[in-house]
Amino acid sequence: MKYFQPKTPNLQNIESIIYFVVWMGILSIPYFQNRQSDTINWGEVSVEWIRLSSFLIIFLINVYFLIPKLLFKKKYLAYIGFMLLSILIIISVSVSILIFLTNSQPVAMPPMELGPGMPPMELGSNMPAPMGFRLPSQSIQKSIYMIFIDNMIIAILVVGAGTAIKTMSKWLNEEGLRKDIEKEQLKTELALLRHQVSPHFLMNTLNNIHALVDINTETAKDAIIRLSTLMCYLLYDTAQGETSLKKEIEFIESYITLMQLRFSQKVVINFEVPETIPNIQIPPMLFISFLENAFKHGVSYQAKSFVSFKLTINNNRLDCSVINSRHPIHEKNEKIYSGIGMVNIKKSLSLLYNEDFTLNINENEQKFEINLSIPIYDVRENQKEKNNTIITA
């Protein structure tokens, strides 16, 4: 499983497809309602289509013009005014057309069943209806006022539904854009971090190497190689946004070795990694902030100190543990780190892994411990899947 997430899809296209499918379903209802065994009452279907089309026009005007142009630009009074005006005009035209079509169509009397074994009797349009049978023209009809009010209510409900859907779509789209922006900011921060670790660290390391040149030439040569490895990793290996676990471990090992040049034998440094390092990808510079904090706040030149870094792999998860000693002089800094610093770290991890990570802090008077667990995937298995996909295609 990769640690990065795809960009948010264009919700406007999905929104339009949903509108099309829903309204096609609504417009198909009159067809199925007026379909009999061998005939279709196209007159009734047409009347219903005209009525529903007025609601569709109101819906489209609302979601594609009035909401983007007025509501989302906080022109609330203009939006309400134009929306009510549109509803009044469209409903008035629709009701007028429906009344005209209804009054202009002759009343067709369906055949009446007279009894068992008797043929049905055709009734003319001017014949009085038998007892117990009502002609359509004789049925109780709504007044024009009631028809207009009913259509207005339905139109307002349609507008409300469209506004709710459009507002939700806008919120989801903005949420996706916000996450994309945060990811881009995170990439920028990681890029800055690669070029920043750290000016003081590099300066102190060079000073230490300079002092070792005359005292211990072999150690100085090894330190130069370590520094070269570290700089090569920062400048080139992290440019793609992900790196192999092996290179990350080599970077951390070089960093710890160079840090040891600064401290006496009182500082005990423990470095544990798997003997066999799998070919997996992780975000670059993922553990360095924990390690930098451990050296910065966990080491004292007066008292015995320790720093421990441990990586383990369990059930397709990579677990990292960083432990350092605590000293009273650094307690205030540790509180700041565990507060604001941890909020920023958790935010970065959430952008990388969503919620598929675990970050815990354990501390007491003697030590400060951070445990991180993240998902991993095997590059070779992922490459096999890609090859199989290409072969299948």
Higher-confidence position of 143 and 224: 224
Residues 87 and 56 in one domain: yes
Give the model's confidence band at 121: pLDDT under 50 very low, under 70 low, under 90 confident, else very high. Answer: low
Residues 35 and 85 in one domain: yes
Higher-confidence position of 130 and 147: 147
Residues 300 and 348 in one domain: yes
In a domain, 146, yes or no: yes
Domain range for residue 76? 11-111+136-187
The answer to whether 34 and 15 are in contact (CB under 8 A) is no
pLDDT surpassing 90 at residue 371: yes
The last residue of one of the domains, among 145, 169, 187, is 187
Residues 199 and 181 in one domain: no
In a domain, 158, yes or no: yes
Residues 167 and 278 in one domain: no
Residues 222 and 141 in one domain: no
Residues 141 and 17 in one domain: yes
Residues 216 and 303 in one domain: yes
In a domain, 285, yes or no: yes
The answer to whether 125 and 108 are in contact (CB under 8 A) is yes
Q: What is the CATH number of the domain that holds 383?
A: 3.30.565.10
Which pair of structure tokens corresponds to residue 13?
């296209």
Residues 150 and 228 in one domain: no
Any residues with CB less than 8 A from the CB of 12 and at least 6 apart, and which?
169, 173
Residues 150 and 35 in one domain: yes
Average pLDDT over residues 205-222: 80
Please report, to the nearest 10 degrees, the dihedral formed by the alpha carbons of residues 257, 260, 261, 262 taken in order: 140
The answer to whether 83 and 159 are in contact (CB under 8 A) is yes
Over the stretch 71-119, which tens digit does the pLDDT of each residue have?
888 898 999 999 999 999 998 888 888 777 766 555 444 555 555 555 5
In a domain, 17, yes or no: yes
Residues 66 and 100 in one domain: yes
Which pair of structure tokens corresponds to residue 200?
């003081």
DSSP assignment of 228-274, as one string? HHHHHIIIIITTTS-EEHHHHHHHHHHHHHHHHTTS-TTEEEEEE--
Give the model's confidence band at 1: pLDDT under 50 very low, under 70 low, under 90 confident, else very high. Answer: very low
In a domain, 306, yes or no: yes
The last residue of one of the domains, among 153, 187, 221, is 187
Percent pLDDT > 90 in the chain is: 12
Residues 214 and 166 in one domain: no
In a domain, 124, yes or no: no
Rounded CA-CA distance 174/167 in Å is 11
| Paired strand residues for 378 | 280
Crossing angle (nearest 10°) for helices 342-353 and 144-194 = 110
H helices, E strands: number in the chain = 11, 7
Tell me the residue type at 285.
M
In a domain, 46, yes or no: yes
In a domain, 116, yes or no: no
Give the model's confidence band at 372: pLDDT under 50 very low, under 70 low, under 90 confident, else very high. Answer: very high
The last residue of one of the domains, among 187, 221, 252, is 187
Domain count of the fold of the chain: 2
